[in-house]
Structure 1
Amino acid sequence: MSSGAAPLFDAPVQTGLVPLVRLAAPVVASRLGIMAMGLVDTVVVGQYSATQLGYHALGWAPTGVVLMTSVGLLSGLQVMTSQAIGDGRAADTGAILRRGLAYATWIGIVAALLLGLGGGPFMHVIGLETSLADGATPVLQLFAISLLPILVADAGIFWLEAHGRAVPGMIAMWAANIVNLVVNLWLVPGGNMFGVSGAAASAWATLASRVALLVTVAVIILVWRESRRLGVMAPAPHDPVAARDMRRVGYGAATSYFIESLAFSAMTIFAGWVGALAVAAWAIVLNVAALIFMVPLGLAVATSVMVGRAYGAGDKPALLSSARLGFGVTSAVLLLVSAGIALAPEPLARAYTGDPAVVTMTAAALLLSSLFFVADGLQVVAAQCLRARSDIVAPTLTHVVSYVAVMMPLGWWLGVHRGMGVDGLVWSIIVASLVSAVLLWGRFVWLSRREI
């Protein structure tokens, strides 16, 4: 690996619990901030109307696929920034950010057009009741518009995190949450005054909060004193090889995210085939699971930054110790979280909705879902560690096997065909998560033993 320009950060690759927690804590808080937006939307809309909650969930289902795929395309920005810092080329990271921002803008425009123009017809051809498709379409279109600001903001946050500056990104995310909460509480109960439904009013709140996030992240980067030294203010030099490498990492991550989010969105469609109450219950279960998932995702980001720096520096012991630590901390944290969910599923369900039938259905599914949190968390840490060491294909193939070949058909068979409803969907996630975790960590261990 080339040494490049003199490093701005001339420090050895850090390993150990303290560096991991120092980076992971604000990253986890930032990722929880992402899901807090969804939590607020779900709770406010759910208390307003179970029917509107179903519209919101169905509108989010295809949006989530497009958003997660787009975020995956941007993941190369963080990987390349981490490796450049580890390789002593921190001065190159400003150019990486500028390429990433341009890339995020184009992705956001294309994604918004694709979803905004094709989402409505899609909702009407997948077997949903006409009333469900009609109610979900305007929600989906508003989500489409908000893709551009969130993707550009995410590019900035990923770059800051790779530099170990996760706290500013966390602050920006929670500031956006305040905007989301205020607009939700203003628009959803009084949405009829503005000619919008509860679900569509909440989607307007999402758009407002994402614009606020973009503005805040831009200010944070521009006022950081090191930004000029890192090359943020200068046009990125023409470097097709560097741009290709960044995109290559993103292609693998995007394919994995697309497969996983598509599979989970398909489960929402399966719930829609079961009935309106099942959609509402599944929306709550999925929101809780996604909220919890932000913890291992944050740990995975922190672990992958450390692994990426060690990989860039050619420090194999640091790479392995960072991966092992990420595995252990993730396992311990998620075991505690799973125990907490298993002890109080009904109060948690009641926090989302007052509908007795939905509460009963949701509580049973939440109790069952505590079985997959650890495996689901470990598989994302393993996937991120593999990408951080430029192993792109294995995570993608693993997600194809786990979520397309296992979870989707099993979810349909148990949830719809066998009549198990939401419980059947949860069982399919349990099985798929275990398959993914075993395959991905097996791959990482195999690579480690082969190289040392």
Structure 2
Amino acid sequence: MEPAQAQAASQGEARPHPVRDELPQLLKLSGPVVLSRLGIMAMGLTDAVVVGRYSATELGYHALGWAPTSVVLTALVGLLVGVQVMTARAIGEGRREGTGAVLRRGVVYAFWLGVISTGALAVAGPPFLHAIGLERDLADGASRALLVFSLSLTGYSVSVACSFWLEGLSRPGPAAIAMWAANVVNLLLVLLFVPGTMGLPAGGAVGAAWATFGARTFLALAMLGFIATMPEARALGVFRKPEIDRPGAAEQMRIGFGAGISNFLEVASFASMNVIAGWLGGLAVAAWAIVLNVAAIVFMVPLGLATGAAVLVGKAYGARDNAGVNRAGAVSFGVTAVFGVLVTLIVWPAAELITRGYTTDTATIAIAAPALALAVLMFLPDCLQVVAAQALRARGDVWLPTGAHLTSYILIMMPLAYVLAIPMKMHLMGIVWAVVIASVVSAVLLLARFWLLSRRAL
């Protein structure tokens, strides 16, 4: 072999391979994150089951008290995404010692976000519940639960900041373990608090809210304790007061603002689907709840893939490696597309069987089963849009994802769902079609944006 050919062959062997190099990292990062996100759902499901078996009335208080806090909580998670992205960028830049500053800023930011959110919900939450037309007893019971739920936002915010930091370091496993340990704590507390046994106060929905407070406080302390005892914590700058870095702090907050607004827009738009379903009647609400719950479970996997994509893209972006950014994006989108197609092919023929697992009411099944069969059309685009949005934020494009979500879910989905469901009399199928169309629009906008940026040098 000629020397030039040998050199080319050697360079070819050293050239990064997207499947060989990026795919294992993506799966290693995403798996624990998926488990962690499923742990969040499991905690809410545990509370609902225990409270529901205790009292249907208390379950109503629990659901209504939880709803406003869940909107705020989702926005808080988005506001803290900057911790994950900036940590990954620092690693890509070769500044591991600088990641401690990102964590310290993130924990302080999370603490004050939690405190402010608690205060805002305590002041505005009960009047809001009493102003939306609920029966007084229902609004009173929900308000009591809401006040306790709001107390847990600070602990949860701090735990999210710690979790995002570890994910940015490519160490998502401890956060997943801590989340499931918190689930055990929550189960023990909810079994004690909901019945009000052993002379404990409260009970019912308020008892479950106190259990959530205890579990989230445990989660925050567990995450902080793990980080403090990491052998490399000092080398990462965890205990060192960081130098003032206004550009870095501003970028961290900018990324969080974009993600937080996006999360709020999505949550608010899907909450409006519940309202439209309510205008169609009780059966439509129950059927839509089944469709939405299945979609939420499916959504946990792309959420994990989105974290993996953000870390890989963020590292490559920090290293100013344009080819690496594009490889990480391409592999993430490819894996996400494969998952979206597979889950579609699984759920579509099993739609009625899945629906029967939620309810035995034949009237509800008759509405929910065909709606779920249609809803599988949103799985692929919905999976792709969340991964693409995180990949874009990781490469510094913060506001386009927010604009895409505003366009897709607020400007298109909300009015389209109303028109299709009520004036055009498509009922629940109209709501589902609106979600499918909005998901496609969002995915196309975000993927097109990533493709356009991939053609530019960093």
TM-score, with normalisation over the residues of structure 2?
Answer: 0.87
- Residue in structure 1 matching 2:227, options 216, 221, 234: 221
- Residue in structure 2 matching 1:76, options 82, 85, 94: 82
Aligned to 1:5: none
Number of equivalent positions: 441
Taking the aligned partners of 2:289 and 2:309, their CA distance within structure 1 comes to 30
Amino acid at match of 1:295: V
Taking the aligned partners of 2:332 and 2:91, their CA distance within structure 1 comes to 20
Aligned to 1:22: 28
Could you tell me the percent identity over the aligned residues? Answer: 51
Q: State the structure with bigger RCO (CA 8 A, min sep 6), 1 or 2.
A: 1
Taking the aligned partners of 2:208 and 2:355, their CA distance within structure 1 comes to 20
Structure 1 residue 287: deviation in Å? 2.9
Contact 1:35 1:294 in 2 (8 A): no
Structure 1 residue 283: deviation in Å? 3.7
Taking the aligned partners of 1:123 and 1:79, their CA distance within structure 2 comes to 36
The residue correspondences of 1:181-330 to structure 2 (distance < 5 A) are 181-188=187-194, 198-330=204-336
Aligned to 2:181: 175
Evaluate the alpha carbon distance shift between residue 94 and residue 33 of structure 1 in structure 2; reply closer, same or farther with a 3 A threshold. Answer: same
Q: Deviations over 1:120-169 (max 9, x none)?
A: 22223334555654443333333212111111000000000110111111
Taking the aligned partners of 1:54 and 1:121, their CA distance within structure 2 comes to 18
Q: Secondary structure at the match of 2:238?
A: coil
Contact 2:196 2:203 in 1 (8 A): no
Contact 1:176 1:210 in 2 (8 A): yes
Contact 1:386 1:395 in 2 (8 A): yes
Evaluate the alpha carbon distance shift between residue 179 and residue 415 of structure 1 in structure 2; reply closer, same or farther with a 3 A threshold. Answer: farther
Q: Secondary structure at the match of 2:411?
A: helix
Evaluate the alpha carbon distance shift between residue 428 and residue 231 of structure 1 in structure 2; reply closer, same or farther with a 3 A threshold. Answer: same
Aligned to 1:126: 132
Aligned to 1:155: 161
Query: What is the CA RMSD across the aligned residues, in angstroms?
Result: 2.8
Amino acid at match of 1:250: G
Structure 2 gap segments, 5+ residues each: 1-15
Structure 1 gap segments, 5+ residues each: 1-11
Taking the aligned partners of 1:145 and 1:253, their CA distance within structure 2 comes to 23
Amino acid at match of 1:62: P
Contact 2:193 2:203 in 1 (8 A): no
TM-score, with normalisation over the residues of structure 1?
Answer: 0.88
Aligned to 2:454: 448
Contact 2:305 2:387 in 1 (8 A): yes
Contact 1:47 1:354 in 2 (8 A): no
Taking the aligned partners of 1:346 and 1:200, their CA distance within structure 2 comes to 35
Contact 1:54 1:276 in 2 (8 A): no
Amino acid at match of 1:65: V
- Residue in structure 1 matching 2:66, options 60, 69, 82: 60
Q: Deviations over 1:399-443 (max 9, x none)?
A: 110111011222333445556554433322111111100100011
Taking the aligned partners of 2:413 and 2:182, their CA distance within structure 1 comes to 34
Aligned to 1:103: 109
Contact 1:301 1:384 in 2 (8 A): yes
Contact 1:353 1:359 in 2 (8 A): yes
Q: Secondary structure at the match of 2:348?
A: helix
Taking the aligned partners of 2:241 and 2:452, their CA distance within structure 1 comes to 41
Q: Secondary structure at the match of 2:396?
A: coil
Evaluate the alpha carbon distance shift between residue 369 and residue 207 of structure 1 in structure 2; reply closer, same or farther with a 3 A threshold. Answer: farther
Aligned to 1:112: 118
